[in-house]
A = this chain, B = another copy of it.
Amino acid sequence: MKNSLCEARQSFLPKLPDCLKNLSKLIFEKGPSTTSHADSSEIEKLFPRLYGQPIVEAKNGDHLAFRPLRVGVVLSGGQAAGGHNVITGLFDALKSMDHDSELHGFLNGPSGIIDHKAVLLKAEKLESYRNQGGFDLIGAGRTKIETDEQLQKSLKTIKAMELDGLVIIGGDDSNTNAAVLAEYFKTEGCDTQVIGVPKTIDGDLKNEHIEVSFGFDTATKTYSEALGNIARDCLSAKKYTHFVKLMGRSASHIALECALKVHPNVTLISEEVLEKQMTLADITTYVADTVQKRSELGKDYGIILIPEGLIEFIPEVKQLISELNEQLAKSDTPALSPASQQAFNNLPENIQKQLLLDRDPHGNVQVSHINTESLVAEMVKKELKERKFEGRFSPVLHFFGYEGRAGLPSNFDATYTYALGHVAALLINHGYSGYMAAVQNLKAPSEEWVVKGIPITSMLNMEVRKGKKKPVIKKALVELDSAGFKTFKSNREAWAEGDHYEYPGPIQFFGDSSLTDTHPLTM
């Protein structure tokens, strides 16, 4: 914290939306009651007390009496830039409404609720976390509050702490969990309100109400800085083909956003692979064709983006993994279907080995551990050899992930999260539970942003998870008819053959707002 850029960022003042500038003049206007994203009768049955709540929007109105609130906050799941600003935004809003309010931070994620591990957050300590990256103020964790015992212990903690509100900062699963807790508390006659805040660098918590999750902007800007540098290195050295795997779970939002920012030669989009039912051979052919065409143009170099989730979207690999998971649980020598055996035989040896040996405690293949960047590079190498390719093909492998999650939040993420913290505080003050804090109109200057509360049940549908039907927020995949994908699609042929690289450079915090206050292109 002694670093001067970190220190300088502490004094950045996020510009709040106009409607949040005078909290005593804010009311929430109720819209019509909601249903669920799908499976409404099942969702209604699971959430009888929450189901149907209206969307609410912040407006100017008559003064509402404030009272001192006791609120708990928890960080759930992987880091995303801006988490600390949700907390400072929450804190500042609570304190500005009533100075006797208290904010308690649960330690190291939801397990802090179950085990009653929390600290009172004080103004002085928070100062040094303003606009900072990471989740280290209170830590984060991936524990889910699911079992009856976990729910009971959580209720006990919440009651012991006499909390008026609980704010869960997390991704789709954690926000679903917020609804489960909200419903459970109501069922148990506990008045504690639960509010979710949409966090994930992956960008897959997105729908008609949530324009983007926080952390996506900083992560994609951080990756694009490195990608742009590598593209420029490529163009100068003219001898390597860089294969870059990008973090982002199943969805390809991060890959698409980075493609629009940097214009690499190839970007694989998992959702398109699935839509077109592309085999690994199809993907290999596509990449090899590009390498070959560029080589014929005298360009034995390039940059190729691969989304982390790709492998799960390739039909025959998906089938192979599913058979392996089933078989390996029983025996070390799996009996595969002829199609899967063929798919397996086509894989490079190191990937075969990884599939057979690298298994989680349940015997499942660890899909996220598979070096997809190496897989694609190896397959292309083999293909080029078979084609008797005479150019130079020197692949260099990269994986960008952790370096994009905990950096200093961009102005966009710092401002967005500070506003989200305010919204969470206000929803609690105004008596709402089972809501997600939402800020909309994000392409406009922050003063014009719109503040809403969205009932989490309205985003739920039923999906099978680990063999059981569960209520979940539908994960947003890249839509092939979205403006972002269309822009990519109409340019990718030019980007493949030419060198249309852009070099976004490092995130800037000072200077002209056209450089400091940009937002995601796919938003």
Contact = CB atoms under 8 A, between A and B. Distances in A.
A230 B237 CA distance: 28
A506 B504 contact: no
Nearest to A222: B229
B6 A505 contact: yes
Contacts of A237: 78-79, 135, 140
Interface residues of A, number: 55
A2 to B, nearest CB: 7
B408 A134 contact: no
Contact of A515 (B5, B226, B503): B5
B134 A236 contact: yes
A358 to B, nearest CB: 13
Contacts of A3: 228, 502-505
Given A402-B229, A402-B396, A511-B511, A407 B236 contact: no
Contacts of A477: none
A207 to B, nearest CB: 27
Interface in A10-49: none
A242 interface: yes
Contacts of A506: 222, 225, 407-408, 506-508
Contact of A229 (B108, B240, B403): B403
Interface in A234-267: 235-238, 240, 242
A494 to B, nearest CB: 14
Contacts of A108: 238
B2 A133 contact: no
Nearest to A2: B502
A94 interface: no
Interface string A100-138: 000000001000000000000000000000001111100
Nearest to A8: B515
A78 B396 CA distance: 15
A480 to B, nearest CB: 27
A99 to B, nearest CB: 30
B515 A139 contact: no
A505 B506 CA distance: 9
Contacts of A75: 236
A345 interface: no
B408 A133 contact: no
A406 interface: yes
B79 A236 contact: yes
Nearest to A509: B508
A522 B350 CA distance: 41
Contacts of A479: none
Nearest to A407: B229
A504 B133 CA distance: 11
Contact of A238 (B139, B230, B408): B139
A4 B515 contact: yes
Contacts of A507: 506
A230 B402 contact: yes
A209 interface: no
Contacts of A225: 403, 407, 506
A403 B230 contact: yes
Interface in A285-305: none
A389 interface: no
A364 to B, nearest CB: 17
A331 interface: no
Contacts of A5: 503-505, 508, 515
A108 B235 CA distance: 11
A139 B236 CA distance: 5
Interface string A366-403: 00000000000000000000000000000010110011
A492 interface: no
A233 interface: yes
Contacts of A402: 229-230, 233, 240, 242, 396, 398
Interface of A: 2-6, 8-9, 75, 78-79, 108, 132-136, 139-140, 222, 225-226, 228-230, 232-233, 235-238, 240, 242, 396, 398-399, 402-408, 502-512, 514-515
Given A79-B232, A506-B507, 16 more contacts: A3-B505, A4-B514, A8-B512, A75-B236, A135-B236, A139-B236, A140-B237, A226-B403, A230-B403, A236-B406, A407-B503, A407-B506, A506-B506, A508-B508, A510-B515, A511-B511
19 contacts: A3-B504, A4-B515, A75-B236, A79-B236, A79-B237, A134-B232, A135-B237, A136-B235, A222-B229, A225-B407, A228-B407, A229-B405, A230-B402, A233-B406, A398-B402, A407-B503, A408-B505, A408-B506, A511-B511
